[in-house]
Amino acid sequence: MAPPTVSGRSEHGTPVELEVAGRTVTVSSPDKVFFPGHGDTKLDLVRYYLSVGDAVMGAMGGRPVMLQRFPDGVGGNDFFQKRIPRSAPDWLRTTVVSTPNGTTSDALVVDDLAHVVWAVGQGCLGFHVWPYRADAPPATDRVVDPGPIVAPEAVDELRVDLDPQPGVTFDDVRAAASATRALLVELGMAPVVKTSGNRGLHVYVPLLPRWDAVTVRAAAVTLARELARRHPDLCTDAWWKEQRGRRVFVDFNQNAPHKTVFGAWSARPRAGAQVSCPVGWNELATVSPDELTIGTVPGRVAAGGDPWAVARSEPSDLTPLLELWAAERAAGRPDAPWPPVYPKMPDEPPRVAPSRARPR
């Protein structure tokens, strides 16, 4: 990738113009400190994304994203922006996205690195990414009743959020990730892993673009339940916090329709400028998430490339997990609870914490 050209200087916050992907993008207040831990600025963040541009486009390219904006950097006020403002450049690509209740908006599509740089210029310290591409075909294999939810797009990523509960160590999260990988490989799938940028890990499976989000979520429910069955002292599929204990929660509902997950290679809004960084399975035992920052990650990529590249080129078949889902349903096990913002779904248990449920 050719480096961008810069005109103007950043003295005293003078705006700079970058030529990126054939576009001229102006970055205002380039010297504004976004990350107080090491004094990293807005322009430092722009340079980070450009330095790992091929990997960023591999993970987010062509996908809708929601922006988490911190106009004054980490420590300042923040807000989520799904709808692109009317004042945005006319070359920005957008696509219509929806919420569970059917509200729509025009979200940014990461069409090229110019779109990433524009978003950083708006104070974006977090890209929250949809699990399908803006030009995704309609799903062809809907094997789960979608009920009242409309989500026609073919999803091409299964996303497993390994969420450590209070008292859980990062070594426990590593063990949960290894257990998740072992189960998925046993089922003929090719998972990859990234740090969350904080205390957790995210395991992804690139998928053949055939299934809708309701079906992919069902597969994730089955995966979580099987991990909890095999590793009851380490993993839990309990939706209610009061039942999780000191275990790693396998958050299946991150795959619910219209859900986004913090993007691979995206800088977290933390003082140290930590990155949600893809890593190889062979380095999981030694990786330290706090050391993966916008200052250190470019060297890793330059030396070792993109750990997700091979898996993205060989997407997996979801059928083995869906067969386990079908077997569970045949045995009479109901669906798992959905998040409260979703309409009531077919065969879903009551959305009431066990401690608050009325005795029958």
Specify whether 48 is located in the same domain as 190: no
Residue 319 lies in a domain: yes
Asked whether residue 201 falls in the same domain as residue 76, the answer is no
Flag whether 267 is in a domain.
no
pLDDT band at 5; cut points 50, 70, 90? very low
SS (H, E, C) the chain: CCCCEEECCCHHHCCEEEEECCEEEEECCCCCEEECCCCEEHHHHHHHHHHCHHHHHHHHCCCEEEEEECCCCCCCCCEEECCCCCCCCCCCCEEEEECCCCCEEEEEECCCHHHHHHHHHCCEEEEEECCCCCCCCECCCCCCCCCCCCCCECEEEEEEEEEECCCCCHHHHHHHHHHHHHHHHHCCCCCEEEECCCCCEEEEEEEEEEECHHHHHHHHHHHHHHHHHHCCCCEECCCCHHHCCCCEEEEHHHHCCCCCEECCCCECCCCCCEECCEECHHHCCCCCHHHCECCCHHHHHHHHCCCCHHHHHCCECCHHHHHHHHHHHHCCCCCCCCCCCCCCCCCCCCCCCHHHCCCC
Same domain, 72 and 189: no
Same domain, 112 and 199: no
Q: Summarize pLDDT for 47-89 with one digit per residue, the tens.
A: 999 999 999 999 999 999 999 999 999 999 999 999 998 889 9
Query: Residue 164 falls within a domain, yes or no?
Result: yes
Total tally of structural domains belonging to the chain: 2
pTM for the model stands at 0.93
Chain center to CA of 28: 28
Which pLDDT tens digit goes with each residue over 135-159?
999 999 988 889 899 889 999 999 9
- The answer on 63 and 191 residing in a single domain is no
- My answer on whether 85 and 159 are in the same domain is no
pLDDT in tens, 268-307: 999 999 999 999 999 999 999 999 999 999 999 999 999 9
Q: Are residues 250 and 320 in the same domain?
A: yes
User: Where does residue 281 rank: exposed (0-12), middle (13-18), buried (19+ CB within 10 A)?
Assistant: middle
Q: What is the CATH number of the domain that holds 189?
A: 3.30.70.3300
Same domain? 159 vs 236: yes
In a domain, 175, yes or no: yes
In a domain, 286, yes or no: no
Q: Are residues 221 and 328 in the same domain?
A: yes
Say if residue 120 is in the same domain as residue 169. no
The answer to whether residues 208 and 328 belong to one domain is: yes
Quote the domain boundaries for residue 110. 5-129
Confidence of residue 13 (pLDDT cuts 50, 70, 90): confident
Residue 311 pLDDT exceeds 60 = yes
**Domain-embedded: residue 275:** no
| Average pLDDT rounded to a whole number, residues 41-47 | 97
Q: Decide if 215 is inside a domain.
A: yes
Indicate whether 12 pLDDT > 50.
Answer: no
Residue 233 pLDDT > 70: yes
Same-domain pairing of 87 and 168: no
Q: Residue 226's Cα: distance from chain center in Å?
A: 22
Establish if 291 belongs to a structural domain: no
